[in-house]
Amino acid sequence: MTPTINNLIVKNNKIGLILILSMLLVLFILHNPVDAKETITWLTWEQVPHYIFQGNFKGQGIADTITAELQKKLPQYNHQNLKSNARRYWKLIKKEKVCVAWAWIVPGSTEYRIHSRPVSIVAPMGIQTLKSKQSLFGKPGQTLSLAKLLENPEIKIGFLGDMVYSKEVHNLLDRYKGKSNVLLSSTSGVEFPLEMLDRGRVDYFIGMPHQAIADAIMNNKPNKYQFYNISEMNIYTSMYTHCSKTPFGEKLMRQINQILSDDFLMEHLSVVENWNGKNKQYREVFMDYVINRNQNVMVHNPGE
Please give, one letter per residue, the 3-state secondary structure of the chain.
CCCCHHHHHHHHHHHHHHHHHHHHHHHHHHHCCCCCCCEEEEEEECECCCECCCCCCCCCCHHHHHHHHHHHCCCCCEEEEEEECHHHHHHHCCCCCEEEEEECCCCCHHHCEEECCCCEEECCCEEEEEHHHHHHCCCCCCEECHHHHHHCCCCCEEEECCCCCCHHHHHHHHHHCCCCCEEEECCCCCCCCCHHHHCCCCCEEEECCHHHHHHHHHHCCCCCEEEEEECCECCEEEEEEEEECCHHHHHHHHHHHHHCCHHHHHHHHHHHHHHHCCCHHHHHHHHHHHHCCCCCCCEECCCC
For the domain spanning 126-230, the CATH number is 3.40.190.10
pLDDT band at 89 (very low <50, low <70, confident <90, very high): confident
Position 189 scores a pLDDT of 75
Position 179 scores a pLDDT of 94
Instruction: Calculate what percentage of the chain has a pLDDT beyond 70.
Output: 87
Position 8 scores a pLDDT of 47
How does pLDDT run across 3-36, given as a tens digit for each residue? 555 554 545 556 656 666 666 665 655 555 545 8
The mean per-residue pLDDT over the stretch 186-215 comes to: 90
The fourth-level CATH superfamily of domain 39-123+236-300 is Periplasmic binding protein-like II (3.40.190.10)
Position 27 scores a pLDDT of 63
- The residue type at 44: T
What pTM was estimated for this model as a whole? Answer: 0.69
Distance, CA of 274 to CA of 57 (rounded, Å):
12
How does pLDDT run across 219-267, given as a tens digit for each residue? 889 999 999 989 998 789 999 999 999 999 999 999 999 999 999 999 9
Domain 39-123+236-300 and domain 126-230, same fold? Reply is yes
Position 19 scores a pLDDT of 62
How does pLDDT run across 259-298, given as a tens digit for each residue? 999 999 999 999 998 888 777 888 999 999 999 999 999 9
The answer to whether 227 and 291 have CB atoms below 8 angstroms apart is: no
Max mean pLDDT range (5-9, 25-29, 160-164, 185-189): 160-164
Position 278 scores a pLDDT of 78
Residue 300, pLDDT above cutoff 90: no
How does pLDDT run across 47-68, given as a tens digit for each residue? 888 999 988 899 999 999 999 9
- Domain residue ranges in the chain: 39-123+236-300, 126-230
The answer to whether 176 and 146 have CB atoms below 8 angstroms apart is: no
Position 199 scores a pLDDT of 96
